Amino acid sequence: MKDFILPDIGEGIVECELMEWLVAEGDMIEEDQPVAEVMTDKALVQIPAMYAGKVAKLYYKKGDIAKVHQPLFAMQTADDQSGETEITKPSSVDETTTTESTSKSSRQEDFILPDIGEGIVECELVEWLVSEGEWVSEDQPVAEVMTDKALVQIPAKHDGVVTNLYYAKGDIAKVHTPLFAQTIEVQGEQTDKSSSSQVKVKPQAQNSAAPESTTLPHTTTGKALASPAVRRLAREQDINIHQVPGSGKKGRVMKEDIAAFVSNDKTVTKQSSGKATPVSGGTRTEAIRGVKAAMARQMMNSVSTIPHFTVSDEIDMGNLIAARNQLKAQFEQQDIKLSFMPFIIKALSLALSEFPIINAQVNDDCSELTYFDDHNIGMAVDSKIGLLVPNIKSVQNLSLLEVAREVNRLIDQARAGRLGSSDLKGGTISISNVGVIGGTVATPVINKPEAAIVALGKIQKLPRFDQNEQVIAANIMHISWSGDHRIIDGATMVRFSNLWKSYLENPLSMFTLLK
């Protein structure tokens, strides 16, 4: 018997009203057949069956409030053995509407990988944070998975013992399919948390891309105690953390243990071989997945469908450097780090107000042009999982302080791989800051369907002539615009860039227009 878990049915939606059952208990249903109609605060949604089988129990009645990630109904499939698994109702259902057997102390349940982002149907299993036989608590992180947008931690839904891990590290897991199996406590007797016995279960049929073996190989017995950060460090250095002796409490593996393990491994290798053996002629092939795959598709689509043209200039940052130095202390009092980016973003928004065509987007067949009132300005961030472009929403309505706060938040979230999908969607124009990693000049590729992007180089102290034709040391930043030549002509782009440049070179003129 399998519980059908109500999946995510919209961003931010945690519950819905059961409007109508489209099946009855005892009905035979087919895969993808509509089973129920539910109403969220946004729309009426039909819920389809994930498998073919017989409806065994409906956990809600018409008008009840159903919870996302809770059982909606139970069904018997062809793989089920009759009578082996009891049906349990979700905790939110009233006792008067459903009865159940509590004679068993535990039950086996598959954890169904939920929707982890709009349009995402699969993800890469980056790291298991638990092992088979391990006790986990509700909301404890169980796995780290990578989508084409971010690194996401998957938490456990219940207390219990992990019995089967259905994927190995590096496998592609499908949304709405089992990720792992767990023995869960039910009303009645308590399960011994110290027990490490494993319950053998038959995993559900996997997609053809899933591995033949559904359990992870273990090189050592027991579970390595370590934080996610330490596990990530081990993974980055291609170390099996189970082989690292832990020096922390109860054998917990610390960062220092990873460093010592690497150092010792290099020493052993050198001693065993006598001298380092040169390696040449080898190759290594790896799959392009996650954020890197998404970027590859996006850039290919952009350059093959948008006629790019580039306009370059240089900006004297001297006055802006002085303005930033004057404001830094005020911002630090509110725990906000003030970089040049908030000034650049706010000046860009002011310029977009005068040149709305730069903030517009054209459809694929170039028959319609859409202008956006909101200036949703994106900034490329070189995160540990690849290039991400989160955007600050409605910059035209934000103060410089609010923009700075959002810049700090998005950079921190991007570098941790924890950006929400809403932060990555809806951009209208982008900034690529190659200067932060030492770049001086770049020709950026437009982030389709946007119409323009600017690349910022590093600030360099260079000789320039002043108004008296005297050579002075100036703080120069090179900038390069790429524009969609279907809707933006060169003269318009230059005028727009000049206005933006004027705000940055004369911050007082910008401050008079700021909120």
268: CB partners within 8 A, 6+ apart? none
Peptide bond into 449 cis (omega under 30): yes
Active site (annotated) includes residue 489:
yes
Nearest-angstrom CA–CA distance, 480 and 504? 15
Nearest-angstrom CA–CA distance, 286 and 501? 43
Token code pair at residue 339: 């970089």
286: CB partners within 8 A, 6+ apart? none
Phi, psi of 152 (to 5 degrees): -125, 135
340: CB partners within 8 A, 6+ apart? 317, 320, 324
E-only strand ranges, 147-246: 151-155, 160-165, 172-174, 178-185
E-only strand ranges, 367-492: 369-371, 377-379, 381-383, 386-388, 391-392, 429-433, 452-465, 471-484
Return the closest-CA partner of residue 265 out of 230, 291, 239: 239
Instruction: Label residue 23 exposed, middle or buried (CB < 10 Å: 0-12, 13-18, 19+).
Output: middle
**Distance between terminal CA atoms of the chain?**
60
Residue 278's CB: how many other CB atoms inside 10 A?
5
C-alpha Rg value of the chain to the nearest Å:
28
The residues pairing with 475 across neighbouring beta strands, listed in sequence order, are 461
Q: How many CA atoms lie within 13 A of 201 on its CB side?
A: 27
Active site (annotated) includes residue 485:
yes
Q: Which of 192, 373, 412, 489 is catalytic?
A: 489
Nearest-angstrom CA–CA distance, 296 and 350? 32
Residue indicated by tokens 């995510």: 8
Phi, psi of 388 (to 5 degrees): -120, 150
Residue 384's CB: how many other CB atoms inside 10 A?
12
Burial 314-341 (b: 16+ CB within 10 A, else e): ebbbbebeebbeebeeebeeeebebbbb
Burial 161-195 (b: 16+ CB within 10 A, else e): bbbbbbbeeebbbbbebbbbbbbbbbeeeebeeee
Token code pair at residue 189: 């007797």
Q: Which of 69, 242, 308, 485 is catalytic?
A: 485
> Which amino acids are annotated catalytic?
485, 489
